[in-house]
Amino acid sequence: MSEDRIPLAGVIGSPVAHSKSPQIHTHWLKVNGLRGHYIPMDVSAEDLETVLRTLPKMGFVGVNVTIPHKEKILEIADLVTDRATLIGAANTIIFRKDGKIQADNTDGVGFIRNLQQNAPGWDPKAGPAAILGAGGAARAVISALLEAGVPEIMISNRTRIRAEALKTEFGKRLIVVDWVQAGNMMEDAATVVNTTSLGMLGKPPLRVPLDGLRRDTLVTDLVYAPLKTNLLAEAEEMGCVTVDGLGMLLHQAVPGFERWFGVRPEVDSATRAAALR
């Protein structure tokens, strides 16, 4: 393989046309003056392994993986990082020089770095966290918060059994709260996170009562379309510090870009603007 081969990366999903990752990575390639390309690839589950084994032969150094392949990819990868194993899904793939496919999950670090950047006074150890939802994104948020030292996590999900399963897996710092009582979590929470898809464009609104929220509570939403969800607007009105979900998307992209293209990219206002274009 020639040394001056142009490095390629991309995002694999189905559908994938809505993904903002191409704008983000292409922006970073440009501002860092790097050679390389990043493209969206719509791939079916049955073709996933063939595609992954073929891409390195074409000059690909890695890919992001999105819905619906984030779990299946763990069966295909030759190496899986501890955090991807813990979360049970991967979003960042590295095609190593020795031919092995390595799967990692950067959603958890993306979640934490977004809060650190946009709410610098936020301390995960300040008190319990309240999490709405128990899907794939919740797993990444829970593992990141536990690692960051949160004393307790209250979790509420429409389908209670999924929240119970997370408690069984992640341990005794988790407390399951019934979905109809989710509003009761607010008064004890130092951090509130919506990991459901409620509030997203085209989805039903989030109807959890927020009147118990304290002014010193940090409220964040993983939904980033719209940027200011009703949850964030209401929390802001109540005097809480709020952080939108776009920053998580930007920060989760950093480790992959750095690994593939050799430069650690900045997450700044220009990156946000590129993602929103």
Q: Name the site residues for ligand NAP (rule: CB under 6 A).
A: 107, 110, 133-138, 157-159, 162, 195-198, 200, 204, 222-224, 245, 248-249, 252
Among the listed residues 20, 70, 72, 100, the single catalytic one is 70
Cβ closer to ligand NAP: 62 or 136?
Answer: 136
CA pair distance 14, 22, nearest whole angstrom: 15
Residue number of the CB closest to ligand NAP reads 135
Lookup: tokens for 244? 């939108």
Cβ closer to ligand NAP: 8 or 222?
Answer: 222
CA pair distance 153, 135, nearest whole angstrom: 15
Task: Decide: helix, strand or coil at residue 60.
Answer: strand
Least spacing, CB of residue 219 vs ligand NAP, in Å: 14
Residue 41 parent element (H or E): strand 37-42
Least spacing, CB of residue 199 vs ligand NAP, in Å: 8
Q: How far is CA 214 from the centre of its chain?
A: 26
CB atoms within 10 A of CB 11: 23
Cβ closer to ligand NAP: 191 or 195?
Answer: 195
Residue 232 parent element (H or E): helix 230-237
Cβ closer to ligand NAP: 139 or 259?
Answer: 139
Lookup: tokens for 11? 């995002």
30 is catalytic: no
Least spacing, CB of residue 30 vs ligand NAP, in Å: 22
Least spacing, CB of residue 178 vs ligand NAP, in Å: 12
Return the active site residues: 70
